[in-house]
Structure 1
Amino acid sequence: MSTSREDIQPISQTQLQDLTARVDRTLSLQVASNLFVSFKYAWQGISYAFRTQRNFRVHVSIGTLAISLAIWLHLGAIEISVISLTCGAVLTMELINTALESVVDLTVQQTYHELAKIAKDCAAAAVLISALIALLIATCLLFPPLWAALQA
């Protein structure tokens, strides 16, 4: 028994969304089979954030500038490490913020909910606090040698 094109009924938008959700849910429940696959998934997360999140790109640029400036100023290993760790903390907070926003958006499905707003605002505030602390640390470590270099 063969099926003709006339026998095939198009699926509705709701059916397509349900099917997509089931496929996505199945894929999201998969566990990495080995360490390489885990790193691949992590890199996909970093890549996604870099492609889609303007603030992540800004923080990567500022962090790269701060670390490069620390190296150019011949700061010690501890100072460079502290600047690197604070930059890494900001990027980590940005990734957590992106993940939380994605989960909230998935949950509320493009409808407004006050609790979703609170969750997103608090996650954004965590990024802001970490960025301000990183700025303070970088200023304390970079400004004195930079000022001395500019005076010479």
Structure 2
Amino acid sequence: MKKSRTLFESFIYAISGVIYSLKTQRNMRIHFLAALLVMIFSKYLNLEEMEMVAVVFATALVIIAEMINTAVETAVDMITEKFHPLARIAKNVAAGAVLVAVLNAIIIGYVIFFDELYNLLLGIQRLILGR
């Protein structure tokens, strides 16, 4: 009979999953770095509450999708070492979910940050060109 986990043990296992993903998955590290930079930029811009919610939700969705992708790839690799078309489909669909989440985050970022980035780039251009 399987021993039931305590709530604390469940949190420890979940945290170890995040740490594993960060240690072993290059794309996860890239997504975490991008999320950190976006959060810093968002704080710098003093986004409105709902804009911040959208940014946090979009970045979390990318990280969640990447972790699910890692879980699917690991499970498929555990089951078969040989090429199988269904294994390829499972991995491709999981990777596609990450792509959709990233595109969603890019669109949300564009909507929220475009005006600020445009004004920032204009200011840099004026500074460089002296206009």
* TM-score above 0.5, yes or no: yes
User: How far, CA to CA, are the matches of 1:69 and 1:100 in structure 2?
Assistant: 32
User: How far, CA to CA, are the matches of 1:69 and 1:97 in structure 2?
Assistant: 27
User: How far, CA to CA, are the matches of 1:62 and 1:133 in structure 2?
Assistant: 14
Q: Quote the RMSD (CA, aligned, Å).
A: 1.6
User: What is aligned with 1:126?
Assistant: 97
Q: Shift of residue 35 of structure 1?
A: 1.4
1:85 and 2:57 aligned: yes
Give unpaired runs (5+ residues) of structure 1: 1-25
Q: Shift of residue 70 of structure 1?
A: 1.1
| Map 1:3-152 → 2, pairs under 5 A | 31-32=4-5, 34-108=6-80, 110-151=81-122
**Highest CA radius of gyration, 1 or 2?**
1
Q: Which has the larger helix fraction?
A: 2
When normalised by structure 2's length, the TM-score is 0.87
Question: Once the two structures are aligned, what percentage of the paired residues are identical?
Answer: 36
Amino acid across the alignment from 2:88: K
Amino acid across the alignment from 2:14: A
Question: Is the contact between residue 73 and residue 146 of structure 1 (CA under 8 Å) also seen in structure 2?
Answer: no
The number of equivalent residue pairs is 123
Amino acid across the alignment from 2:46: H
Q: Classify 1:74/1:151 alpha carbon distance in 2 versus 1 (closer, same or farther; 3 Å).
A: farther
